[in-house]
Amino acid sequence: MDKRKYLERPAHSEQTIIYKLKVKRNLAAISLTHRLMGWRLYVSNCPSQQLSFEQAVKAYRGAPRMEHNFSRLKGKPLGIRPLYVHREDHTKGMVRLLSLALRVLTVTEFVVRQALSLTNTTLSGLYSGNPKRQTSQPTTERLLKAFKGITLSLVCLPDQVISHITPLSALQKQILNLLGFSAAIYEDIVVEFSSFSP
């Protein structure tokens, strides 16, 4: 269709094109996609007598939790990289030490969560912006942050050592209790330092 010149618009031609599409399902490709959809390949060296197929699938479905631990190892709070060491044995030692620290973080989290689950209780006061917020799934990082600000003061005099430690809050006592520790282990720190001779 020809369009005449109008004001600033030059004369031009316009063409209308209509496309007609015929769609056909590729049943073989669809079938193959359905067969492979959602499948993952896992390998285990655990004998089938010890871990059945169903148990293995259930264990591997916890992969996101394992990935969470690897992200802990690579980032905060452990930060395995970058390693500023020059000797291979130092690198191995650092990796082993951080792996041990990761296990401590994981076990601490597991013990507290299990204790909360068994008593059907929650923890509140772990979130600084929302102190009333409750959780039954606290992370070890948040639990450790609850102990921030504890100070041990020592005054060494000629014949004695005076020591003072920040008293535990109700939340800190609750965390120690969930871990199966008595508050006495905390108070014993003061006793230990009081007997220290300069």
Regarding whether 161 and 136 lie in a shared domain, the answer is no
Instruction: Report pLDDT for 196.
Output: 56
The rounded distance, in Å, linking the Cα atoms of 14 and 110 is: 71
pLDDT at 197 over 60: no
Scanning the structure block, which residue is given the tokens 């109700």?
170
Residues pairing with 154 in the sheet: 163
The answer to the question of residue 14 being in a domain is no
* pLDDT single digits (tens) 168-194: 888 888 898 899 888 887 777 766 666
| Shared domain check, 134 and 58 | yes
Average pLDDT over residues 20-49: 83
179 and 164 together in one domain: yes
Determine the pLDDT at residue 149.
83
Judge if 109 and 152 occupy the same domain.
no
Between 131 and 108, name the one with better pLDDT: 108
Grade residue 111 by pLDDT with cuts at 50, 70 and 90.
very high
In a domain? residue 33: no
Q: Does any domain span residue 22?
A: no
With a pLDDT cut of 70, the percent of the chain lying above it is 88
What does the block give as tokens for 107? Answer: 């076990």
pLDDT (tens digit, 9 = 90+) per residue, 135-173? 888 988 889 888 888 887 878 778 777 777 888 888 888
Residue finishing a domain among 109, 124, 145: 145
Give yes or no: residues 139 and 60 share one domain.
Answer: yes
Instruction: Give the CA angle between residues 133, 77, 58 to the nearest 5°.
Output: 75
Which structural domain, as residue segments, surrounds residue 58?
52-145
Whether this model's pTM surpasses 0.75: no
The number of distinct structural domains making up the chain is 2
Answer whether 117's CB lies under 8 Å from 137's CB.
Answer: no
Mean pLDDT of all residues belonging to the chain: 81
Q: Answer yes or no: is 181 within a domain.
A: yes
Average pLDDT over residues 79-90: 74
How far apart are alpha carbons 186 and 198 in whole angstroms?
A: 22
75 and 138 share a domain?
yes
